[in-house]
Amino acid sequence: MAALHALARGGLPAISVEALARELGATRGSFYWHFANRDAVVTAALQLWQREATESVIAGLGAEPDPGLRLRRLIEFAVTVDPIAGLEPALTAHARHPAVAPVLRDVTEARIGFLTGCYRELGSSPAEARRRAVVAYAAYLGWLDLRALGGDDLPEVATQGQDAHAALDELVETLLPPGTNHPTRPGEGDRSDGSGVADRDRKARTDRTGRS
Amino acid sequence: MAALHALARGGLPAISVEALARELGATRGSFYWHFANRDAVVTAALQLWQREATESVIAGLGAEPDPGLRLRRLIEFAVTVDPIAGLEPALTAHARHPAVAPVLRDVTEARIGFLTGCYRELGSSPAEARRRAVVAYAAYLGWLDLRALGGDDLPEVATQGQDAHAALDELVETLLPPGTNHPTRPGEGDRSDGSGVADRDRKARTDRTGRS
DNA sequence: GGTTTTCCGTACAGTACTGTACGGAACATG
DNA sequence: CATGTTCCGTACAGTACTGTACGGAAAACC
């Protein structure tokens, strides 16, 4: 875990035996008893992330029967909870590293596959579902990228707050196919009174308080 | 430029006087005559990127009068041309670095501002336009992230190819507001026969050759 | 209670880098 | 031609890291 946090902050070079030992209050001599060398720590951390990244998806969202609602919950969940800030951008930055590449490939494949299944159930053709999944996953990755900027300039990509809430709705409405039923919040019920386009326009009309 | 390429490959630590001198066929002694120290090279490279990143946007797309077409061309342009592969993901990975943060903030601000202007002209409220701009820019960043994975597993995010062409169309149709006129290619003319939703369905119906 | 295993710390090469000092070549300029 | 400027190379500390050797404490085991 300490290695993953270091990775999120300073990239792969930040995973150093020296720094981790310092941070954990131990010495390098102790370190080299638990791990063969630095690469062993890196691969162990990556495997830990891979397990977490794939299990959390299927565990939390696999049960929801309605594909539209599942997709919505998935996006909300993925964008809202972000246990180690900046981890995914750091990983994609080292995508070509021999230790990172296979892990990142598998996780990406699994996630896009899950998304593709959702769009497929919503009526898209195989190729169309795949394309929408790629677009949706790209939006997710970029969302985390923007969050990694850290400043107060982009309140919409934060994990909480008024602007973040509205932006998350915008993201979901953009990524869900038009006409998909999607209640705004769990207890609010399903406002399937019109198409997604009508919903979109209604939203734009009632919102005049924004920045320039 | 060599520093930017090194940054794209191995992150900020890859910008080393030693490595750059080797690559350029010079020695470090020569290097330290041109630059005060390593930080000077980093900041110079970042400023070079900032100039390029902001100028290329306003120069190439600012002329187009139709906001919908301008937005479409912008997305196509931004996703298609990618002079230094992996640069943007590498930069966002070091978003908290004191030298990177201000540059990245300014570039992001400028780009999102440009996008906001496009959506504004298309009829969105200020807040709505801003939200859509954030979503669109996130999709762009994530697109580059996926491309950085590099493998053959994601042909849709490549700079060329059949799958890439179809995926790019999907991206544009997702990010453009429904009902926006958008010809597929420059000489093809404007097929404004129906709404964007109708276009979307027609596309899904005629495409049955994809993967599972 | 003695012995082995487990775990931690110090000490020592070895590597790769930064920054500076300095010497020298190529060239321009008076 | 003499001199100064520009530019490049080598040499030398100094730093931060990796990996290994080895010594020792603490606990487990018989």
pLDDT digits (tens, 9 = 90+) for B153-206: 999 999 999 999 999 999 999 999 877 765 655 444 444 443 434 344 444 434
How far apart are alpha carbons A126 and A144 in whole angstroms?
27
User: In 10 A of CB B29, how many CB atoms?
Assistant: 8
Closest to A134 (Cβ–Cβ): which among B138, B156, B205? Answer: B156
CB within 7 A of strand C: which residues qualify? A 26-30, 32-34; B 16-19, 28-29, 32, 36-39
At what angle are helices A38-61 and A67-80 packed, to 10 degrees? 140
Mean pLDDT for A114-130 is 95
CB A182 within 8 A of CB B181: no
3-state secondary structure of B209: coil
Distance B165 CA to C9 C1' (A): 60
Closest to B146 (Cβ–Cβ): which among A90, A138, A210? Answer: A138
pLDDT of residue B61: 76
Question: CA separation (Å) from A21 to A16, A32, A35, A86, B199?
Answer: 8, 10, 12, 22, 58
CB A137 within 8 A of CB A115: yes
**Residues in chain A within 8 Å Cβ distance of B79:** none
How far apart are alpha carbons B13 and A4 in whole angstroms?
18
How far apart are alpha carbons A178 and B178 in whole angstroms?
9
Mean pLDDT for A139-149 is 97
CB A132 within 8 A of CB A100: no
Best CA proximity match to A173, nearest among B15, B94, B132, B37? B132
Please judge whether B148 and A13 are an interchain contact, meaning their C-beta atoms are less than 8 angstroms apart: no
Q: Among all protein residues, pick the one whose CA is nearest to the C1' atom of C11.
A: A29
Helices (H), B62-161: 67-80, 87-93, 100-121, 126-149
Confidence of residue A183 (pLDDT cuts 50, 70, 90): low
CB A24 within 8 A of CB A2: yes
In chain B, the residue whose alpha carbon lies closest to the alpha carbon of A92 is B145
By C1' distance from the Cα of B32, the closest nucleotide is: C19
Between A and B, how many CB-CB pairs are < 8 A? Answer: 219
pLDDT digits (tens, 9 = 90+) for B87-122: 999 999 999 999 999 999 999 999 999 999 999 999
3-state secondary structure of B207: coil
* Residue that the structure tokens 């997709």 belong to: A71
pLDDT of residue B63: 76
CB B167 within 8 A of CB A116: no
How far apart are alpha carbons A66 and A122 in whole angstroms?
9
In chain A, the residue whose alpha carbon lies closest to the alpha carbon of B127 is A210
Please judge whether A95 and B200 are an interchain contact, meaning their C-beta atoms are less than 8 angstroms apart: no
By C1' distance from the Cα of A27, the closest nucleotide is: C9
Residue positions counted in chain B: 212
**Which of A60-69, A125-134, B28-37, B46-55 has the weakest average pLDDT?**
A60-69
What is the pTM assigned to this prediction? 0.86
Closest to B126 (Cβ–Cβ): which among A90, A108, A211? Answer: A211
**Residues in chain A within 8 Å Cβ distance of B140:** 138, 142
